[in-house]
């Protein structure tokens, strides 16, 4: 695990979790239990196993519950820093930009949505990310919104297949000639990209940033054979999430 020795991480945990109402009327999404274990604990266990030392967690909705839970558990033996967005949600890109001072500049940042369960091989993702500015875990799951990659798996654009919309810094891009993948909510980000965020507002999405930066930065996609992924974003996925966690031995 030598390539993870200096690994940092960030957990996006500030969302309102509106699709999980009424559970999220009284608890933040990060604290929603799957198999009796809060989502944030499952994610942190995976990050710790991967070698992450410093972890930044952003908070907003019912933030005190997350902060108190981490403190009561000794931060699970990790160097956890809180990026407080109580004053207003900043979206994923803005949340990462706000958290920039909490990271070292000499190590990659593994970013993980709090509501994603998967069997991802984090070591393989980190190895694939070596030398890149950012590497996005992607899959072939069915959706209407896809990231577009060239033959070398460099990010070149985005498309909505339902509307035909295409976004790309390359005006002549033909989506039909691109590899098309769905974003998995897990990615590796180099701190050297923070400089490119200066031109962005306080609130913006991370995919908006990647699309704006992909012409000048090395932003790649990474596909893992056999990847299984579950977005625990709706009430009707909780039962499936419990089966998923049991099947893949999601860490406690």
pLDDT of residue 163: 96
What is the reported pLDDT for 2?
Answer: 38
Report CA torsion sign: 113, 158, 139, 20.
positive
pLDDT value of position 91? 97
**What b/e sequence results for 234-250 when a residue is b if at least 16 CB atoms lie within 10 Å of its CB, and e otherwise?**
eeebeeebbebbeeeeb
- pLDDT at res. 204: 98
pLDDT on residue 206: 98
Q: What is the pLDDT of residues 9-31, one digit of tens each?
A: 999 999 988 888 998 899 999 99
For residue 195, whether the previous peptide bond is cis, meaning omega lies within 30 degrees of 0, is: no
What are the CA-CA distances from residue 52 to residues 48, 104, 107 (Å)?
Answer: 5, 13, 10
Angle between helices 91-99 and 206-213 (to 10 degrees): 80
Q: Report helix, strand or coil for 14.
A: coil
Report the candidate in 127, 62, 116 with the shortest Cα–Cα distance to residue 89.
62
Q: Which residues make Cβ contacts (< 8 Å) with residue 216, sequence separation at least 6?
A: 196
Among left, alpha and beta (phi > 0; psi -120 to 50; other), residue 35 is left
The token pair at 38 is: 């809060």
Q: Tens digit of pLDDT for each residue in 235-249?
A: 888 888 888 888 776
* φ and ψ of 149, to 5 deg: -130, 150
Report the alpha-carbon distance of residue 167 to residue 180 in Å, rounded: 13
Q: How far is CA 224 from CA 121, 122, 124, 179, 227, in A?
A: 8, 10, 8, 15, 6
SS3 category, 27: coil
The pLDDT profile of the chain, 252 residues, written as one tens digit per residue, is: 334 447 999 999 999 888 889 988 999 999 999 989 999 999 999 999 999 989 999 999 999 999 999 999 999 999 999 999 999 999 999 999 999 999 999 999 999 999 999 999 999 999 999 999 999 999 999 999 999 999 999 999 999 999 999 999 999 999 999 999 999 999 999 999 999 999 999 999 999 999 999 999 999 999 999 999 999 978 888 888 888 888 776 544
């Amino acid at each position: 695990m030598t390539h993870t020795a200096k690994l940092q991480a960030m957990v996006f945990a500030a969302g309102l979790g509106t699709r999980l109402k009424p559970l999220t009327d009284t608890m933040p999404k990060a604290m929603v239990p799957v198999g009796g274990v809060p989502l944030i604990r499952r994610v942190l266990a995976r990050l710790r196993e991967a070698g992450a030392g410093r972890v930044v967690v952003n908070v907003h909705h019912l933030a005190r519950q997350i902060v108190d839970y981490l403190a009561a558990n000794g931060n699970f033996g990790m160097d956890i820093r809180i990026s407080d967005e109580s004053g207003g949600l900043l979206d994923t890109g803005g949340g990462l930009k706000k958290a920039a001072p909490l990271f070292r500049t000499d190590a990659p940042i593994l970013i993980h949505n709090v509501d994603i369960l998967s069997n991802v091989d984090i070591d393989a993702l980190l190895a694939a990310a070596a030398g890149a500015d950012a590497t996005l875990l992607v899959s072939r799951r069915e959706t209407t919104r896809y990231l577009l990659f060239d033959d070398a798996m460099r990010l070149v654009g985005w498309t909505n297949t339902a509307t035909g919309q295409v976004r790309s810094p390359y005006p002549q891009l033909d989506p039909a000639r691109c590899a098309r993948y769905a974003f998995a909510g897990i990615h590796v980000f180099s701190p050297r990209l923070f400089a490119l965020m200066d031109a962005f507002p306080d609130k913006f999405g991370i995919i908006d940033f990647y699309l704006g930066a992909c012409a000048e930065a090395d932003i790649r996609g990474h596909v893992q054979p056999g990847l299984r992924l579950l977005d625990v974003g709706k009430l009707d996925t909780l039962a499936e999430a419990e089966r998923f966690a049991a099947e893949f031995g999601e860490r406690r």
